[in-house]
């Protein structure tokens, strides 16, 4: 590639260089024909942090004096993974006497309650349940 006398590249030279870099970078990404949504969901499932709690859910835990043991957290995570494997998007995950509504694509607990707070035992806006 020749550099012009003033030391700057021409627009055509820059364009060629950019296009070559773009092709190299694009070929380095292997998507195996998966859609962006599938790749995103896979990445989220593999994230090391496990399930997270929304501000609302964290507030519910505090208001209801619910403290999770490490074992319960592991089982909640396991329940969320099982729900994801079955294609559930909004899941009820029951751990001991606790109920959690989990948004599976975001790995986020959106609300939590214990058996006393779930007096009517009615859960809406879910498409599956996991009992762990």
Over the stretch 28-81, which tens digit does the pLDDT of each residue have? 455 566 677 766 665 555 455 689 999 999 998 988 888 889 999 999 999 999
| Burial readout 87-108 (b: 16 or more C-beta within 10 A, e: otherwise) | ebebbbbbbeebbbbbebeebb
**Mean pLDDT for the chain?**
80
Q: Is the pLDDT of residue 116 over 80?
A: no
Q: Is the pLDDT of residue 96 over 90?
A: yes
Q: Residue written as tokens 């509504």?
A: 101
> Nearest-CA neighbor of 83 among 114, 54, 121, 51?
51
CA max distance for the chain: 81
pTM above 0.85, yes or no: no
φ, ψ of residue 127 to 5 degrees: the values are -120, 15
Instruction: Over range 91-99, report the average pLDDT.
Output: 94
Report the pLDDT value the prediction gives residue 6, as an integer from 0 to 100.
62
Report the pLDDT value the prediction gives residue 46, as an integer from 0 to 100.
46
H helical segments located in 32-106: 36-46, 55-63, 70-85
Q: What percent of the chain has pLDDT over 90?
A: 43
Report the pLDDT value the prediction gives residue 41, as an integer from 0 to 100.
63
Kind and range of the H or E element at 15?
helix 11-28
Q: Is the pLDDT of residue 122 over 80?
A: yes
SS3 label, residue 49: coil
**Predicted confidence (pLDDT) per residue in 101-111, tens digit:** 999 999 999 99
Angstrom distance (rounded) from CA 54 to CA 96: 21
């Amino acid at each position: 590639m020749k550099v012009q006398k003033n030391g700057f590249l021409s627009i055509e030279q820059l364009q060629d260089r950019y296009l070559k870099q773009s092709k190299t970078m694009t070929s380095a990404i292997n998507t195996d024909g998966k859609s962006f949504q599938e790749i995103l969901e896979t990445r989220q499932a593999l994230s090391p942090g496990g399930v997270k709690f929304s501000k609302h859910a964290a507030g519910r835990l505090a208001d209801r004096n619910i403290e999770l043991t490490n074992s319960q957290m592991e089982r909640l995570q396991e329940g969320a993974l099982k729900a994801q494997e079955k294609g559930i998007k909004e899941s009820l995950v029951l751990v001991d006497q606790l109920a959690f509504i989990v948004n599976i694509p975001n790995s986020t607990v959106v609300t939590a309650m214990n058996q006393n707070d779930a007096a009517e035992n009615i859960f809406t806006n879910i498409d599956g349940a996991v009992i762990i």
